[in-house]
Structure 1
Amino acid sequence: MKSRIPVVLLACGSFNPITNMHLRLFEVARDHLHQTGMYQVIQGIISPVNDNYGKKDLAASHHRVAMARLALQTSDWIRVDPWESEQTQWMETVKVLRHHHSELLRSPPQMEGPDHGKTLSPTPAAVPELKLLCGADVLKTFQTPNLWKDAHIQEIVEKFGLVCVGRAGHDPKGYISESPILRMHQHNIHLAKEPVQNEISATYIRRALDQGQSVKYLIPDAVITYIKDHGLYTKDSAWKGKSTQSAEGKTS
């Protein structure tokens, strides 16, 4: 039986609010890595961004973490981690990766998880690889001047690795070929394809909620209930009108 490399997937972003598309990113990425025959995905981590990210219409982190927890009640391998959201300042993505990497070194997760009925054998006593999970829209932001530090991009793709799920209107292979750093480390960038077009965005969800439209089947029912109970994403929400700042592209 061929040993597989254990992998933990980390998604950093606003999750404002978490949507079914965010959850699908994990499922698609896991399927892709398993199909390579090299990897076993043993855990997924959702890391909501700190309130000081400065993004307009960003709900308070405790709400975003709570909604993610509710959305993940039906998952037995993805969890939400509040560490990034609890820091005193906004954290660059590479620093979040460093934190979780050190946590894996200190206490590796159990080698278990769904495998679609197939027996997957991870390398004995291996420390899991930590890979950043993102959509192709985030990969594109690597090209935006003054948004990401080149040293950070290099550390992400060289030390950790990327799993990028394609989105309509994006050309991830093109983004890689246009970037010397990404091109140099393209062996550590996995491009996964979503077989079902899924263009649900948190921006659309917020707009629909603001206009009183239904978002059922776009986000988990438990999240819809939470939003209603706490009066989030409405015209009268207290977080309306926050200023923005220049910060790395993150999953919305």
Structure 2
Amino acid sequence: MTRPLRIGMLGGTFDPVHIGHLRAALEVAEVMGLDELRLIPSARPPHRETPNSSAEHRLAMVRCAVGDLAPLSVDARELARDKPSYSLDTLQSLRSELGAEAQLFMLLGWDAFCGLPGWHRWTELLDHCHILVLQRPDADSEAPETLRDLLAARSEADPMALSGPGGQIAFIWQSPLAVSATQIRQLLAAGRSVRFLVPDAVLAYINAHGLYRATD
């Protein structure tokens, strides 16, 4: 019997994409034995400020970063929508494309996971996927009360034991890389180097297009 496809998805503004995003994606893909892990740039994230760079630039930077590094790939479907980027819409689109049997894993950082109750129709997300919460070894905060019942009912201690196409939540440890897109934008605006915080191909793109520089 052929095992179902195992597909991960990591959404974000990627403004810009950096080594923290990429290392997390690669670690999860390897640990979970994913066939593919899609980085999905969001166009108009409903819970965040408007990105500094255009959708076109952000998509190009993610493509520069991923290159031909399987199993990572780039999925531009959210940029094709003329409305806010809702994760539920993306999951439903992926599910219709990949079929009912595929295992879908949505990667969320701890802060994003804690903010789930503010997401569009958030209680339906697990109807379409498993959620992998990226936890760093130095994280010691607790989930908000609104999520505790969900965690009690849907948590699986071992992420490798997640079964079926979706419906469960597991925590997966990450290497602690203290890198943020905000930090990178601030460094660039101050005229400082971000070498080794973003892939060389992304840095070359930023320099070629003059992104994130301070303007008079």
Residues 217-232 of structure 1 correspond to what in structure 2 (within 5 A)? 217-232=196-211
Kindly indicate whether the alpha-carbon contact (under 8 Å) linking 2:133 and 2:169 is maintained by their aligned counterparts in 1: yes
Match of 2:107 in 1: 133
User: Cα 1:104–1:57, aligned 2, differ >3 Å: closer, same or farther?
Assistant: closer
Instruction: Tell whether the 8 Å contact from 1:136 to 1:171 is kept in structure 2 after alignment.
Output: no
Counterpart amino acid of residue 94 in structure 2: H
Change (3 A) 1:81 1:159: closer
User: How far apart are the structure 2 equivalents of 1:209 and 1:224?
Assistant: 10
The reply to whether residue 186 of structure 1 matches residue 173 of structure 2 is: no
Question: Distance in 2 between the 1:213 and 1:168 partners?
Answer: 30
- Matched residue count: 203
Number of the residue aligned with 1:204: 183
Q: Distance between the aligned counterparts of 2:3 and 2:140, measured in 1?
A: 29
The TM-score, its normalising length taken from structure 1, stands at 0.72
Per-residue Cα deviation, 1:138-178 (whole angstroms, up to 9, x for no partner): 112125xxx224xx332223431111111366347x31775
* CA distance 1:57–1:45, change in 2 (3 Å): closer
Give the drift of 1:81: 1.1
Amino acid at match of 2:199: P
8 Å contact kept, 2:9–2:37 = yes
1:166 aligns with 2:135: yes
Amino acid aligned to 1:185: R
Contact 2:13 2:51 in 1 (8 A): no
Output the amino acid matched with 1:189.
I
State how 1:79-118 maps to structure 2 within 5 Å: 79-105=73-99
Aligned residues of 1:45 and 1:78 also touching (Cα < 8 A): yes
What fraction of aligned residue pairs are identical, expressed as a percent?
26
Aligned mates of 2:78, 2:3 — CA distance in 1: 29
Q: CA distance change for structure 1 residues 163 and 98 in 2, over 3 Å: closer, same or farther? A: same
Which residues in structure 2 correspond to 1:2-151 (within 5 Å)?
5-33=4-32, 40-51=33-44, 53=46, 55-105=49-99, 127-142=101-116, 147-149=118-120
Q: More deviation in 200-209 or 5-14?
A: 5-14
Match of 2:159 in 1: none
Corresponding letter in the other structure for 1:133: L
Higher relative contact order (Cα pairs below 8 Å, separated by 6+ residues): 1
Report the secondary structure of 1:212's partner residue: coil
The answer to whether residue 132 in structure 2 is matched with residue 175 in structure 1 is: no
Amino acid at match of 2:102: P
Q: CA RMSD in A?
A: 2.5
**Which whole-Å CA distance do the structure 2 matches of 1:74 and 1:24 have between them?**
15
**C-alpha separation in 2, matches of 1:42 and 1:79:** 10
Any unmatched runs of 5+ in structure 1?
Answer: 34-39, 106-125, 238-252
Letter in 1 for 2:5: P
In the TM superposition, structure 1's runs of 4+ consecutive aligned residues that sit over 3 Å from their partners are 2-6, 51-54, 167-172
The offset of 1:214, in angstroms, is: 0.9
Report the secondary structure of 1:190's partner residue. strand
